Amino acid sequence: QRLVLATRNAHKVVELRAILGDAGLGGDRIELVGADAYPGVPDVKETGVTFAENALLKARALARATGLPAVADDSGLCVDVLGGAPGIFSARWAGRHGDDRANLELLLAQLADIDDRHRGAHFACAAALALPDGTEHVVEGRLTGTLRHAPAGSGGFGYDPILQPDGERRTCAELTPDEKNAISHRGRAFRALAPLVRDLLPG
Ligand code: ITT
């Protein structure tokens, strides 16, 4: 049985293969296939106003187009002092979709005057499952921490170099991939989704 990973973000694909693999998916019974295997499927407009809505839109579109079960991730960074922004707009905060470096630099500039006591933030991830028969599930995960004044570390992607998880002295970009996945918003959301995937997939 194939399970489509409904994302065009290569960093997410790497993390999802590790997280779902550790959760027992991706072996002989369930083959994880990237959305790139289905280039004809047009990009979905992320018109939802929540992570959960957008994750469901992406999973549903791939499931319909391929006739296969699909999982999707919608995620972002929510900054307390910005009222939760960039939130669902995290991938295009500086204007151009997926320009991680510009997004991070704009955010740091916006927070330049904010002192350490007021730099709380969290990563959020909605993990959605959609089956061709219309069955849908969505679960969310979070990673809370504080934002550094300057980037540190070269691992991960996006805002990882500036988020220092609670109880950590390193940023997410200084953690190993396994360390990040063990505590991340994405790890938490997809580990919660994995048993539903296992139970609902045929075969
Ligand atoms: P797909 O919609 O194709 O999955 P995308 O990159 O457009 O890919 P999103 O709309 O969910 O995905 O945007 C996610 C953005 O949030 C991403 O570009 C990063 O800026 C940020 N983000 C999400 N997870 C992150 C993580 O684990 N570490 C750092 N930044 C993250």
Hey, how many other C-beta atoms are within 10 angstroms of the C-beta on 109? Answer: 10
Q: What pLDDT band is residue 64 in, cutting at 50, 70 and 90?
A: very high
Q: Does the structural domain 2-200 have CATH classification 3.40.50.150?
A: no
Residue 203 has pLDDT above 70, yes or no: no
135-161 pLDDT, tens digit each? 999 999 999 999 999 999 999 999 999
**What share of residues in the chain are helix, strand, coil (percent, to 5)?**
40, 20, 35
| Annotated binding-site ranges for Mg(2+) | 74
Based on the residue annotation, tell me whether 80 is a catalytic residue of this protein. Answer: no
Mean pLDDT computed over 62-90: 97
Percent of the chain at pLDDT > 90 equals: 93
Which of the residues 28, 74, 80, 133 is marked catalytic? Answer: 74
| Annotated binding-site ranges for substrate | 7-12, 75, 157-160, 180, 185-186
Residue 29 has pLDDT above 90, yes or no: no
Which residues touch 164 (CB under 8 Å, ≥6 apart)? 145, 146, 147, 148, 170, 171, 172
Residue 202 has pLDDT above 90, yes or no: no
Closest to 60 (Cα-Cα) out of 48, 49, 77: 48
Domain ranges of the chain: 2-200
Find where tokens 């002192």 sit. 115
Which residues touch 19 (CB under 8 Å, ≥6 apart)? 181, 186, 187, 190, 191
The pLDDT of residue 103? 98
Render the burial of 94-108: b for 16+ CB within 10 Å, e for the rest: beeeeebeebbeebb
Pair 77, 93: CB distance under 8 Å: no
- CA–CA separation, 25 and 20 (whole Å): 5
97-108 pLDDT, tens digit each? 999 999 999 999
The residue to mutate among 75, 123, 174, 183, having the most atoms of ligand 1 within 8 angstroms of its beta carbon, is 75
- What is the pLDDT of the chain when averaged over all its residues? 96
Residue 66 has pLDDT above 80, yes or no: yes
The pLDDT of residue 199? 93
Q: ipTM of the predicted structure? A: 0.98
Amino acid sitting at position 133:
D
- CA–CA separation, 59 and 98 (whole Å): 19
Residues forming beta bridges with residue 123, ordered by sequence position: 77, 143
Mean pLDDT computed over 19-29: 90
Pair 202, 139: CB distance under 8 Å: no
